[in-house]
Amino acid sequence: MNRSYRWVIVAAGGLLGCVAIGAMFSLPVFLRPMAQDTGWSVTGISTAMTIGFLAMAAASMVWGSLSDRFGPRPVVLAGSVVLAASLALASRADSLIAFQLLFGLLVGGATAAVFAPMMACVTGWFDTQRGLAVSLVSAGMGMAPMTMAPLAAWLVTRHDWRGAMLIVAGIAAALMIPAALLVRRPPALESGPAGAAPDAPSSEMTAAQALRSPQFLILMLANFFCCATHSGPIFHTVSYAASCGIPMIAAVSIYSVEGMAGMFGRLGFGLAGDRFGAQRVLVLGLLAQAFGVLAYAFVDRLAGFYAVAVVVGFIYAGTMPLYAVIIRENFPLRMMGTIIGGTAMAGSLGMSTGPLVGGLIYDRFGSYAPLYVGSWGMGLAAMLILMTFRPFPKPQGGMVPA
Tell me, what's the pLDDT at 198?
Answer: 44
238, 376: one domain = yes
Domain count, the chain: 2
Tell me, what's the pLDDT at 190?
Answer: 65
Q: Which of 258-262, 276-280, 375-379 has the lowest mean pLDDT?
A: 258-262
Four-point Cα dihedral 77, 209, 213, 215, nearest 10: -50
pLDDT at 402 over 90: no
| Overall average pLDDT of the 56-64 stretch | 89
CB 131 within 8 A of CB 321: yes
Q: Which residue did the predictor score with more confidence, 181 or 46?
A: 181
Tell me, what's the pLDDT at 332?
Answer: 86
pLDDT at 226 over 60: yes
Q: Which of 166-175, 198-207, 254-263 has the lowest mean pLDDT?
A: 198-207
Tell me, what's the pLDDT at 84?
Answer: 96
Tell me, what's the pLDDT at 218?
Answer: 96
Work out the pLDDT band at 194, boundaries 50, 70, 90: very low
Q: Which of 86-100, 134-148, 338-352 has the lowest mean pLDDT?
A: 134-148
100, 23: one domain = yes
10 Å Cβ neighbour count for 387?
Answer: 14
Last residue of a domain, one of 118, 152, 185: 185
Give per-residue pLDDT as tens, 308-318: 999 999 998 88
- Percent of the chain scored above 90 by pLDDT? 44
The pTM for the full model equals 0.78
Q: Which residue did the predictor score with more confidence, 175 or 158?
A: 175
Work out the pLDDT band at 202, boundaries 50, 70, 90: low
DSSP at 103: I
pLDDT at 22 over 80: yes
Position 249 in a domain: yes
CATH of the domain at 31: 1.20.1250.20
344, 227: one domain = yes
| Overall average pLDDT of the 129-156 stretch | 81
Position 194 in a domain: no
96, 133: one domain = yes
Contacts of 112 (CB under 8 A, 6+ apart): 55, 56, 57, 59, 60, 63, 79, 341, 344, 348
Q: Which residue did the predictor score with more confidence, 142 or 311?
A: 311
103, 246: one domain = no
Q: What is the C-alpha to C-alpha distance for residues 105 and 48, in angstroms, rounded to an integer?
A: 8
Averaged pLDDT score across all residues of the chain: 86
Tell me, what's the pLDDT at 201?
Answer: 55
Work out the pLDDT band at 85, boundaries 50, 70, 90: very high
112, 7: one domain = yes
117, 211: one domain = no
Position 212 in a domain: yes
What is the domain extent for residue 276?
207-387
Position 340 in a domain: yes
pLDDT at 75 over 80: yes
| Overall average pLDDT of the 114-127 stretch | 87
Work out the pLDDT band at 401, boundaries 50, 70, 90: very low
175, 266: one domain = no
Position 85 in a domain: yes
Tell me, what's the pLDDT at 197?
Answer: 41
Work out the pLDDT band at 289, boundaries 50, 70, 90: very high
| Overall average pLDDT of the 175-197 stretch | 75
Position 200 in a domain: no
Position 26 in a domain: yes
94, 26: one domain = yes
Last residue of a domain, one of 185, 220, 235: 185
pLDDT at 229 over 90: yes
CB 322 within 8 A of CB 265: no
pLDDT at 157 over 80: yes
CB 17 within 8 A of CB 72: no
Last residue of a domain, one of 155, 185, 215: 185
316, 174: one domain = no
Work out the pLDDT band at 203, boundaries 50, 70, 90: low
Q: Which of 189-203, 325-339, 366-380 has the lowest mean pLDDT?
A: 189-203
220, 162: one domain = no
277, 142: one domain = no
Position 280 in a domain: yes
Tell me, what's the pLDDT at 371?
Answer: 92
Distances (CA, A) of 400 to 114, 199, 201, 274, 330: 29, 6, 8, 18, 12
Alpha helices in 71-156 (DSSP H): 72-91, 96-99, 108-125, 130-142, 144-156
pLDDT at 200 over 70: no
| Overall average pLDDT of the 360-381 stretch | 91
